[in-house]
């Protein structure tokens, strides 16, 4: 804790305040406001529920940067709006919302069509001082705040001060502020009212969400211009759909990436990797991916292979592919400074001036795994292209995906072995980018990790043009979902990290990043058998299901914890594989609508106040709800059931919603429920995602009213973008005492192999048929 006693008082410079509106002028997409002393406020209406707000004290707005993550204003379809003026207000009204700008002094107020206020400026409005600009907004008593990217702690972020600055947050805790990801977006919810706010600044920024003043939200950045978007909901689904229109959506990953990933720092030799895969297959523990950490490299030089430990990587990977295993290799941004060792990555980067330089022109260096290292400037297009092409050193031997690490960036001022070394980052005054976009790292620091992931993604797309690849990153910014999956960095093998993982992943999902995971079992430290079993149960729910552990810890493979835990792990990994058609469809929804895969209950029940603080239950899609155990020695727990009827996954017992129930949860059981009206596709257990053609699919139907659209394609190529995919709509209804299941005609160009469909209605039995793509009606 900081020392308070004896500290000298400190005062900040006063804020300059926005003045009154002197005049206003309409233009094609919005309205300009002259606020005196050359200052200008601009409202741009991009869609009926999306407004861009920009303010410059100097009147001039910054030109669009090449690295901007937001969709250009000109690419939005024209949106109708009306303007009305009085002596007190200028009102801009769309089909969805009304924005009122007070003239004296200039303040902005937002209302929905029912007159409910949201995102109101306080009496302070907008202020600025040297290298800082801010906006104060009102917080109502009922408001809750979610998203903010990667955040430790629980779900609702109200009462916190949240900084957006990518940082190697090693050993983060519930109280950690700056994290690996910096995503300046949140959504605010209260009954029947909801909005999102994207703070469009790559500079250091901060949200004070009622921490300093209980009922005040403060947006602050070290930029000289205020730029943010207001997205009206009112429900989370609409907010996230619009936000991901603005910042982009994830590509559809290969189906194998949805399977189980096994990782450790490090499986450091070919022999060890082969033995690992043998154990997985002999023990019938499904797995699709093995990750190789830094020890596969020659002296930690990126894009090399250790000649002693991995003498023939191509043969190794070919052999693993025969067993259904894909290989993902780690890459860090630090390039070993090795100018006299015939190390091409270093030599090419120096020759072409691709590495970051200090303001005085000297090549910048820091210390990471290979000791002295230099760093590519990923803000430059030619550097990203060069780096992307370097992936061929890995793809040429069969590597199927890349894991980008240490890219906040994480580096020290001395060699890693020096215990006196301190963390550092690039000099803030060092040049970044080039051409008209040339700036400094003060503006682009937060973009470094994402642009490394972008370089990787674009390089793999070029090198593996016929196959989808997998990219994983530790650091990123808003829009990172366009290029990469994300994991929550270096967690610990402790119960509190297990508990924290669900709200962290849910808030990432509510920030547009759907393909997310946390290291199962915990990265640092030694998991107990009970903790590992419970973590594997919860990990089955993560969109990215990866087990990972740290060097010099106990091994964390499932069989290391005894037969009981191994059996539990197998059971839940097998369940993940049975649910792959369901998960794959959710990934399709994420790619097309931006919807999270792992969802807090408030996502579908935003008007149920019981869900606002509920962080330890999650929805997978809209139809499956899990209530994991995250405390030692616990064998039952309270579960909140939202409105409707819910069925226990294991016993098939039904429960009415809008109540809390007590559920038994012995070590082998994670409470899991199906929503009435749900239709869940299931397949037989496979040892890897593409082991066998799907010759049989079971549809588990919970009596009620609902529908589900199953998405399918070949799971591996980009043919789906040319229409080689299919969708089938299933619907269930109640008719008196009968249950009716309707199967729509399959749509699309992709045709699965001939298969048997078994439709099981809970409590009513099952029927089956051979699927030929035609519509059917089944009555129970």
Which residues are known to be catalytic?
405, 408, 490
Provide the b/e sequence for 444-456 (b: ≥16 CB within 10 Å): bbbbbbbbbbbbb
Q: How far is CA 523 from the centre of its chain?
A: 19
212: exposed, middle or buried (Cβ count in 10 Å: 0-12, 13-18, 19+): exposed
Would the CA dihedral through 149, 152, 158, 161 be positive or negative?
negative
Give the tokens for residue 227. 């730029």
Which distant-in-sequence residues (6+ apart) come within 8 Å of 753 by Cβ?
693, 694, 695
State the Cα–Cα distance between residues 335 and 352, nearest whole angstrom: 14
State the Cα–Cα distance between residues 32 and 39, nearest whole angstrom: 11
State the Cα–Cα distance between residues 730 and 745, nearest whole angstrom: 9
Mark residue 593 as left, alpha or beta (left: phi above 0; alpha: psi -120 to 50; beta: remaining). alpha
C-beta of residue 180 within 8 angstroms of C-beta of residue 490: no
423: exposed, middle or buried (Cβ count in 10 Å: 0-12, 13-18, 19+): middle
C-beta of residue 43 within 8 angstroms of C-beta of residue 81: no
Q: How far is CA 127 from the centre of its chain?
A: 32
Which distant-in-sequence residues (6+ apart) come within 8 Å of 321 by Cβ?
398
Nearest residue to 303 via CA among 352, 349, 356: 349
Instruction: Please state the length of the chain.
Output: 780
Helix axes 381-390, 344-351, angle to 10 degrees: 160
Residue 128: how many CB atoms within 10 A of its CB? 22
Nearest residue to 395 via CA among 320, 326, 460, 310: 460
State the Cα–Cα distance between residues 300 and 367, nearest whole angstrom: 12
Nearest residue to 517 via CA among 463, 576, 435: 576
Q: What are the CA-CA distances from residue 574 to residues 56, 403, 451, 688 (Å)?
A: 56, 25, 36, 10
Q: Is 520 helix (H, G, I), strand (E, B) or coil?
A: strand
Q: Is 626 helix (H, G, I), strand (E, B) or coil?
A: strand
Would the CA dihedral through 747, 750, 756, 760 be positive or negative?
negative
């Amino acid at each position: 804790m900081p020392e308070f006693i004896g500290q000298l008082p400190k005062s900040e410079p006063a804020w300059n305040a926005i003045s009154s509106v002197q005049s206003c002028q309409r233009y094609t997409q919005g309205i300009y406001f002259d606020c005196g002393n050359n200052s200008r406020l601009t409202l741009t209406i991009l869609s009926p529920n999306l407004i861009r707000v920009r303010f410059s004290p100097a009147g001039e707005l910054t030109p669009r940067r090449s690295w901007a993550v937001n969709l250009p204003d000109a690419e939005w379809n024209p949106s109708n709006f009306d303007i009305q003026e009085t002596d007190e207000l200028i009102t801009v009204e769309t089909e969805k919302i009304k924005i009122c700008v007070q003239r004296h002094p200039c303040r902005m107020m937002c209302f929905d069509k029912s007159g409910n206020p949201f995102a109101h400026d306080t009496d302070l409005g907008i202020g600025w001082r040297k290298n800082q600009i801010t906006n104060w907004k009102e917080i109502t008593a009922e408001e809750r705040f979610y998203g903010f990217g990667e955040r430790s702690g629980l779900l609702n972020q109200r009462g916190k001060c949240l900084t957006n600055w990518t940082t190697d947050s090693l050993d983060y805790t519930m109280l950690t502020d700056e994290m690996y990801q910096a995503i300046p977006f949140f959504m605010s919810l209260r009954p029947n009212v909801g909005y999102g706010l994207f703070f469009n600044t790559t500079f250091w920024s901060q949200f004070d969400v009622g921490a300093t003043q209980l009922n005040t939200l403060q947006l602050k950045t070290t930029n000289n211009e205020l730029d943010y978007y207001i997205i009206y909901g009112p429900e989370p689904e609409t907010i996230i759909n619009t936000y991901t229109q603005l910042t982009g959506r994830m590509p559809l990953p290969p189906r194998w990436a949805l399977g189980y990933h096994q990782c450790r720092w490090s499986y450091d030799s070919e022999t060890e990797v082969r033995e690992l895969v043998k154990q997985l297959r002999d023990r019938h523990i499904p797995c699709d991916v093995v990750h190789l950490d830094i020890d596969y490299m020659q002296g930690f030089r990126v894009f090399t292979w250790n000649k002693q430990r991995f003498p023939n990587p191509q043969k190794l990977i070919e052999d693993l592919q025969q067993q259904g295993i894909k290989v993902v290799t780690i890459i860090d941004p630090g390039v070993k400074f090795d100018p006299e060792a015939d190390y091409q990555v270093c030599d090419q980067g120096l020759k072409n001036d691709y590495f970051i330089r200090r303001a005085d022109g000297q090549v910048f260096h820091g210390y990471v795994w290979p000791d002295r290292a230099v760093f590519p400037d990923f803000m430059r297009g030619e550097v990203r292209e060069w780096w992307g092409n370097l992936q061929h050193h890995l793809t040429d031997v069969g590597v199927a995906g890349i894991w980008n690490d240490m890219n906040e960036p994480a580096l020290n001022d001395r060699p890693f072995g020096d215990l006196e070394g301190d963390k550092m980052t690039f000099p803030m005054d060092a040049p970044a980018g080039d051409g008209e976009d040339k700036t400094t790292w003060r503006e682009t620091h937060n973009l470094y990790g994402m642009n490394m992931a972008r370089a990787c993604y674009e390089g793999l797309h070029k090198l593996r043009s016929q196959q989808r690849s997998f990219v994983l990153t530790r650091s990123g910014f808003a829009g990172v979902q366009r290029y990469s999956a994300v994991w929550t960095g270096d967690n610990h093998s402790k119960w509190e990290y297990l508990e924290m993982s669900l709200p962290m992943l849910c808030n990432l999902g509510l920030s547009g990043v759907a393909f997310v995971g946390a290291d199962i079992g915990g990265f640092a430290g030694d998991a107990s058998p009970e903790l590992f079993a419970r973590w594997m149960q919860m990990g089955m729910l993560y969109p990215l299901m990866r087990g990972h552990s740290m060097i010099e810890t106990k091994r964390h493979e499932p069989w290391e914890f005894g037969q009981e835990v191994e059996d539990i792990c197998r059971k839940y990994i097998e369940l993940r594989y049975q649910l792959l058609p369901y998960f794959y469809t959710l990934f399709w929804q994420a790619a097309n609508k931006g919807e999270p895969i792992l969802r807090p209950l408030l996502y579908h029940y935003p008007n149920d106040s019981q869900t606002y603080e509920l962080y330890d239950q999650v929805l997978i899609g809209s139809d499956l709800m899990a209530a994991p155990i995250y405390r030692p020695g616990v064998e039952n727990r309270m579960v909140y059931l939202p409105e409707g009827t819910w069925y226990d996954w294991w016993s098939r017992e039904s429960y009415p919603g809008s109540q809390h129930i007590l559920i038994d949860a012995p070590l082998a059981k994670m409470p899991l429920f199906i929503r009435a009206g749900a239709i869940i596709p299931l397949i037989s257990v496979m040892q890897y995602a593409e082991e066998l053609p799907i010759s049989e699919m079971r549809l588990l139907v919970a009596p009620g009213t609902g529908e589900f659209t199953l998405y399918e394609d070949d799971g591996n190529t980009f043919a789906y973008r040319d229409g080689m995919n299919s969708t089938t709509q299933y619907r269930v209804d109640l008719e008196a005492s009968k249950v009716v299941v309707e199967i729509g005609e399959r749509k699309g160009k992709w045709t699965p192999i001939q298969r048997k469909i078994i439709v099981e209605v809970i409590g009513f039995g099952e029927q089956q048929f051979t699927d030929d793509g035609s519509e059917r009606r089944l009555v129970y």
